[in-house]
A = this chain, B = another copy of it.
């Protein structure tokens, strides 16, 4: 009778034996520690590659002892989107605890570059990884690069700083989001012709500017028969947005579409319903909140374009963890999709 061939998973010891070196040397190679001849490094790495060896993540985690600390740098003040991210992190607490990970929230004024940069500087050295809702500004870029230089893993969240050396961006392509909004407005107004209104928080916000850009791109190239009204800026405030839209509706009885790029959706909706035109005007906005959900079900809001905040929170944690462990990232998994939410596919 043949002996049973037990294909037990390989261990570092097996790699050491096969490469003809000691465990200590394999360990040095694996962690880029100095004191190994380039020749030997190659030999060990080849053995690892040939056997498709992966260190047992549980053993590695257990052996390193210290827990990993991550920080989420988020805007201060009451921002529903950010509050959702925080809530989803809370839902993960058992998951985090079982892995001995700690995630701390750091609130700061992310809209002031020097304040944000100072906040980031202050975190240096204390954390293994940092997720930050960042403004794209030279000072912030430098602060991020300093963190990376010091060995901290950095992930930008929701808003990217592409010119920095951050390891990863967790968020959507806002130009594509704007294009999606444009295509939906154009398609949903049907054969009618008329005016399209567009309101944003501010053109100075990178994500808003990008959405507007994508929106205009599609409107110009595919729905040029529609008349786009000049952009309004509502500063993401309900009151101001309502005022602006009310006035606009009064002036233009032939508005058939409305795109709200940023927050303040409640104000916009109020203006629409008070004018009694919520059924005639195609209304598209961003993000799924309790309020936009209600508006979708009522029919006031036709489409909500959304990025899943739960997914973003979890993806940021997973990416930071993979980076800290020197594990490959499942890019498909961590990519944030542009969700088109209508009444019937509400999650």
Contact = CB atoms under 8 A, between A and B. Distances in A.
Pick the most buried of A188, A314, A328, A338: most chain B CB atoms within 10 A of its CB: A338
A122 interface: no
Nearest to A337: B347
Contacts of A42: none
Contacts of A180: 342, 344-345
A290 interface: no
A132 B84 CA distance: 33
B67 A9 contact: yes
A332 interface: yes
Nearest to A61: B58
A154 B341 CA distance: 31
A100 B60 CA distance: 13
A52 B9 CA distance: 34
Contacts of A347: 335, 337
A314 B333 contact: yes
Contacts of A218: 344
A333 B310 contact: yes
Interface of A: 9, 52, 54-59, 61-62, 67, 88, 91-92, 94-95, 97-100, 176-177, 179-180, 182-184, 187-192, 214, 218, 302, 308, 310-311, 314, 327-328, 330, 332-333, 335, 337-345, 347
A50 to B, nearest CB: 14
Contacts of A342: 180, 183-184, 340
A41 to B, nearest CB: 21
Nearest to A172: B345
Nearest to A175: B344
A52 B332 contact: no
Given A56-B100, A190-B191, A310-B333, 8 more contacts: A57-B99, A95-B327, A95-B330, A183-B343, A214-B344, A308-B337, A337-B347, A339-B340
A73 to B, nearest CB: 23
A58 B55 contact: no
Given A62-B59, A191-B192, A54 B98 contact: yes
A50 B194 CA distance: 63
B98 A57 contact: yes
